[in-house]
Structure 1
């Protein structure tokens, strides 16, 4: 009996096999069609819808951190050139372009009266009067409120995965790499001090490429 008990393995052979490693701290990126669904879920033309649409379009277009978006001031936006000045970690400044979708959404929010309708100038606190994204109390939109906005429309779009503002930053970087953007350009866009930080996105890029291949190539899965 003692010999039998000693013969029983107490270790797990499966533990010797390396599992699939997922880069830590990175959310799963949305597919491009999910981004379209997320934005399409923001319906209506009231001031809240205009603000929320501008926020989501801006986050995906620029890859900005949510703290950078919430800290954005009117003077940081150059609407004529479609450029924005962002202040990242350590107050490091960078200039980032944004496309037509974000430009249109920002114009609807800023120029068409959406911002003024949400919080009239006389209600805004002096310290937050030039904030791009405002909350209902006339102060800058908080990170918590921005998280709630993104989560709300992800639910309305039928996206089951956890979606946060950082998901949009991650999706922006991943989609640019998929479409051929240089890693150094994406590094500058995201405000990473080291390219090694940006390189984690290439792992997800490879996984996404493999997933698309398996789903689209007629002989990817032999029957």
Structure 2
């Protein structure tokens, strides 16, 4: 089904995001939905994008708040609106930017939840079968935790992205940015088992593959490229079978990768590069470790932290 279209200036902005800025289809679609809602709000006020006033933007953001939208969603909508007006100003379509003084949206800082190292090990070791689906699921989980990859990066992996000679994996992240990440021994072994005749080839069997699916690293039971939803469902089911009580998702494994690496002394900029964060500030969220861990790390690392307490 075709997406509902914006007015001409809105469509021009989305085209610019796609062609000039290289934004992903998901990002562009999210901005489309945000701007469609904005246009709907303006219509109720008898305005258009090019005639909107600062108060109109604030009214729209208040409307989203009244609808109990999440702070992150409102902040994204504000960002889409400001981006639209910046574009129109640069293109000479407007002489004044009505979004300059738009009310700020405070997004609460959320410390990502990570599994304990024991819980991750329990999850991984609960998959011990040698059937194709077990081999596939173990490989997916090992890569999610071992590389900190996003689920969107896992589903788009092709066989050609594996570079065993160099121990590297090619990932295509947000904005189609490419990065190479190291693959540890456990993940390497799991992926090798999946790509052996007992794994991927056995799952395919006599099924006919499309040209696209022939290149896909991970396939579902119908020998089609696995989807984001498919991986989410698999992770949840495997976590339940392993007896984990906390909510586990691909993103939780990504959080766990970053948290555990930093806890073991990895440099924050190394973790930033591994996760594909454009800003080190995003990675530093993971450094907000518990008070107990901080005390233990300080005591073990500082040369004058140990010894008798002064009286």
Deviations 1:117-154 (A, max 9, x none): 11137521211211111112222111111011111111
2:180 to 95, 113, 118: 95
The runs of at least 4 aligned residues of structure 1 exceeding 2 Å deviation read: 205-208, 210-213
* 1:40–1:182 distance in 2 versus 1, CA, 3 Å: same
Pair member with larger Rg: 2
* 1:193–1:137 distance in 2 versus 1, CA, 3 Å: same
CA–CA distance in 1 between the matches of 2:273 and 2:179? 8
> 1 or 2 for the larger relative contact order (CA 8 Å, sep ≥6)?
1
Q: What is the aligned partner in structure 2 of residue 39 from structure 1?
A: 124
CA–CA distance in 2 between the matches of 1:27 and 1:127? 35
Gaps of 5+ in 2: 1-107, 298-311
Q: Do residues 209 (structure 1) and 287 (structure 2) align?
A: no
CA–CA distance in 2 between the matches of 1:34 and 1:197? 25
**1:206 deviation in Å?**
4.1
Q: How does 1:45-194 map to 2 (within 5 A)?
A: 45-120=130-205, 122-194=207-279
CA–CA distance in 2 between the matches of 1:150 and 1:92? 26
CA–CA distance in 2 between the matches of 1:148 and 1:122? 23
Give the aligned CA root-mean-square deviation in angstroms. 1.8
Deviations 1:75-133 (A, max 9, x none): 11112222101000000010000111001100100024300111137521211211111
Structure 1 length-normalised TM: 0.80
* 1:192–1:121 distance in 2 versus 1, CA, 3 Å: farther
1:195 to 264, 275, 280: 280
- Give the paired residue count: 190
CA–CA distance in 1 between the matches of 2:188 and 2:255? 20
